[in-house]
Amino acid sequence: MSALIIGHKNPDTDSIIAALAAADLYTQRGLEVEAVAQGTPAPETAFVLERFGLKAPAVVTSVAGRDVYAVDYSDLGQAPSDFSDCNLKGIIDHHKLGDMTSSSPVECVIMPVGCTNTIIKRMYDYLGKKPSKELAGAMLCAILSDTVIFKSPTCTEADRAAAAELAEIAGVADIKALGMELFTAKSAVKGVAARDLILRDFKDFTMSGKKIGIGQLELVDLSLLEDRFAELLEDLGRMKAEGRHTAMLLVTDIMKEGSVLLMASDDPAKVASAWGKTLGEGNLWLEGVMSRKKQVVPNLEKVFKD
Ligand code: MG
Ligand code: MG
Ligand code: MG
């Protein structure tokens, strides 16, 4: 049976395209692999697949007994629930090291760059291989998505360089215009249920034994969603009641370069203090905060340790 290459829960563009790209690269290396995903594509990813004529990976939620490569995560909380019964073969990732372990030697490529697809481009280079035009276009979109068109503090020179090289292969002349198209597709929120919006890009973390759920929506304009903040807060309250200490949603305005923090928490003052804020009237605006990985998770881990 072929090995599975699988991204994280609530798959984003990077985790789905990374699985497709890694499957292509590993196939070129002579390995028997198959790209899969833990869910169907969100609107942004659907745009990317359609734009570059690629097929969505099959949805797989059980990996027991299978050989598995994880892409775009190494946290068990973001893996299929029976992950401890699979044979972990490798990890490609750009997040903090998680709690996955293995029973045999693994191939891990983990680097502090803005996107898993940046790492995979470097792996292609290292092995003297090249992605197809279509795959290169999709990989470029994954980099644009994860780095918020190079604006996120997670973006590195390696991401810019990989994006330029992929654009060349894909025949994309205007990278930033493609980025705006991508985020316009991502901003599709009209008529979508509150829970689906919260879960679109949602991750649970454990901090000092407490379950903290953090969702993020990146929009080209906050006003697309402002009239639904009350409804979202109400649903975050229900998600908190499902066994979380805190359920939060960052609504990021990629043009204004900051985020509104909506939350339901057992200790909202403590959460707000992670950015030096006190609770007042209205919504919390976090100026310059665009990255969950760099500006949200570490801040929260710090206040929850005290
Ligand atoms: Mg991801
Ligand atoms: Mg990523
Ligand atoms: Mg992201």
- Mean of pLDDT over the chain: 96
pLDDT at 207 over 90: yes
Residue 217 has pLDDT above 70, yes or no: yes
Q: 110: CA distance to ligand 1 center in Å?
A: 14
State in Å: Cα 293 to ligand 2 middle: 10
pLDDT digits (tens, 9 = 90+) for 227-252: 999 999 999 999 999 999 999 999 99
Measured in Å, residue 83 CA sits from the centre of ligand 1 at 18
Point out the ligand nearest to the CA of residue 94: 2
Segment 280-287 shows an average pLDDT of: 84
pLDDT of amino acid 174: 97
Residue 281's pLDDT is 65
**Residue 283 pLDDT level (bands cut at 50, 70, 90):** confident
Question: For residue 199, how far is its CA from the centre of ligand 1 (angstroms)?
Answer: 13
Q: How far is the CA of 235 from the centre of ligand 3 (A)?
A: 21
Q: What is the value of pTM for the model shown? A: 0.89
Is the pLDDT at 282 greater than 90, yes or no? no
Ligand nearest to the CA of 116: 2
Q: Which strands sit side by side in the sheet containing 3-6, from one edge to the other?
A: 58-59, 33-37, 3-6, 67-71, 87-93, 107-110
pLDDT single digits (tens) 142-187: 999 999 999 999 999 999 999 999 999 999 999 999 999 999 999 9
- Ligand 2 centroid to Cα of residue 94, in Å, is 7
Chain centre to alpha carbon of residue 252: 14
The mean pLDDT value for 189-201 works out to 95
Distances in whole angstroms, Cα of residue 61 to Cα of each of 22, 34, 83: 19, 14, 9
Residue 119 clears pLDDT 80, i.e. is over it? yes
Q: Closest by alpha carbon to 21, among 40, 39, 35, 9?
A: 35
Q: Are strands 258-265 and 246-253 parallel, antiparallel or unpaired?
A: antiparallel
Query: What does the pLDDT average to over 111-125?
Result: 98
* Span from the CA of 252 to the centroid of ligand 2 (angstroms): 17
Distances (CA, A) of 282 to 116, 152, 250, 262, 269: 36, 26, 15, 10, 14
Question: 175: which strand partners?
Answer: none
Q: Which of 218, 255, 216 is CA-nearest to residue 236?
A: 216
Read off the pLDDT of each residue in 124-139 and give the average, rounded to a whole number.
98
Task: Give the number of whichever ligand sits closest to the CA of residue 15.
Answer: 1
1 CA → ligand 3 middle, Å:
31
pLDDT at 306: 74
Q: How far is the CA of 54 from the centre of ligand 1 (A)?
A: 19
Distance 54 CA to ligand 3 centre (A): 21
Q: 65: Cβ–Cβ under 8 A, 6 or more apart, which residues?
A: 85, 86, 87
Name the strand (E) or helix (H) holding 250: strand 246-253
Ligand at minimal distance from the CA of 119 is: 2
- Which of helix, strand or coil describes residue 147? coil
Question: pLDDT tens digits, residue range 47-101?
Answer: 999 999 999 999 999 999 999 999 999 999 999 999 999 999 999 999 999 999 9
Residue 212 predicted with pLDDT over 70: yes
